[in-house]
Amino acid sequence: MKKNFAYGMFTALACVGLLLPSCRTKTVYAPYPNYTNAPQAQMPHNDKVEEELDDCEKESLQMEGDLLRAYGSAIDYDRDFARQSAVANARAQMASDIQALVTNVFKNYRATTTKNNVSTSEADRQQDIISIAEEVISRTTITCSKRYRLSDGRYECAVCVSMVQSASEDIEKAVLSEDAKLGVRFDAEQFRKSYQEELERYRQQKQSQL
């Protein structure tokens, strides 16, 4: 009798032991959110109107030969100050464009014209580039000017400035000067090639903005 009782207890405990794992609390993972069918926040209706370039900006993107153009605009309550600021902004853009163009012409030309790995001071070249930009800016003229009166009483002015003389001679003089310092012969053909290639790259960049 005792033997049967002990055997029954053992069997019962064994069953409980087998059942216990299935009674443990399972880890519940947070589901990944699904926004596919989620309601969208209500946004106010906005009419969409294609923005067009004004006449002066369009003109600034169309080069005539190798004469660069630049655009500038400004807004102010003072009409004259707005125009002066627009002109200053356009000339600043012109100076930036000229410096980038001349820098690239130098790099392209110098890549094929060197002597025994001799190089000039980077500071000297940068000063030459700044001087060229200043000279070019002094010879710019305003080719387009627009003025608008805004509803809040301010004035918006837009201008296009253009070079009146090619910068090729100024750049060539700077290259000649650097060649003399390096002790190399000026390569006129390579200079013209570098200049034209960079002009074309600049022209294409402008055209892409139209």
pLDDT band at 73 (very low <50, low <70, confident <90, very high): very high
For residue 21, tell me if it sits in a domain. Answer: no
> Is residue 121 predicted with pLDDT exceeding 90?
no
Reduced to 3 states (helix: H, G, I; strand: E, B; else coil), residue 174 is helix
Evaluate whether 160 touches 70 at the Cβ level (below 8 Å). Answer: yes
Lowest-pLDDT choice from 3-17, 50-64, 65-79, 144-158: 3-17
The predicted pLDDT at position 10 comes to: 46
For residue 19, tell me if it sits in a domain. Answer: no
The predicted pLDDT at position 31 comes to: 55
Closest CA to 145 of 87, 99, 210, 190: 87
Whichever domain contains 86, its CATH number is 3.10.28.20
Domain range holding 105? Answer: 66-207
For residue 26, tell me if it sits in a domain. Answer: no
For residue 46, tell me if it sits in a domain. Answer: no
Lowest-pLDDT choice from 45-59, 98-112, 124-138: 45-59
For residue 52, tell me if it sits in a domain. Answer: no
Percent of the chain with pLDDT over 70: 72
**CA–CA gap between residue 124 and residue 64 (Å, rounded):** 31
Mention every residue, 6+ apart, whose C-beta is less than 8 A from residue 71.
56, 57, 59, 60, 61, 90, 93, 158, 159, 160
pLDDT band at 152 (very low <50, low <70, confident <90, very high): very high
For residue 11, tell me if it sits in a domain. Answer: no
pLDDT in tens, 10-47: 454 444 444 444 445 555 555 545 544 555 566 666 66
**CA–CA gap between residue 167 and residue 94 (Å, rounded):** 12
pLDDT in tens, 183-199: 888 999 999 999 999 99
99: enclosing H helix or E strand: helix 79-110
Which ranges of 138-187 does DSSP label H, i.e. alpha helix?
168-182
Mean pLDDT across the chain, nearest whole number? 81
Query: Given the DSSP bridges, would you call strands 69-76 and 155-163 parallel, antiparallel or unpaired?
Result: antiparallel
For the chain, the distance separating the N- and C-terminal CA atoms, rounded to the nearest angstrom, is 104
For residue 33, tell me if it sits in a domain. Answer: no
For residue 15, tell me if it sits in a domain. Answer: no
Percent of the chain with pLDDT over 90: 53
> Is residue 140 predicted with pLDDT exceeding 90?
yes
> Is residue 158 predicted with pLDDT exceeding 60?
yes
| CB crowding 15-29: b at 16 or more within 10 Å, else e | eeeeeeeeeeeeeee
Q: Is the pTM of this model over 0.85?
A: no
pLDDT in tens, 159-180: 999 999 999 999 999 999 988 8
163: enclosing H helix or E strand: strand 155-163
Q: How many domains does the chain have?
A: 1
pLDDT in tens, 86-102: 999 999 999 999 999 99
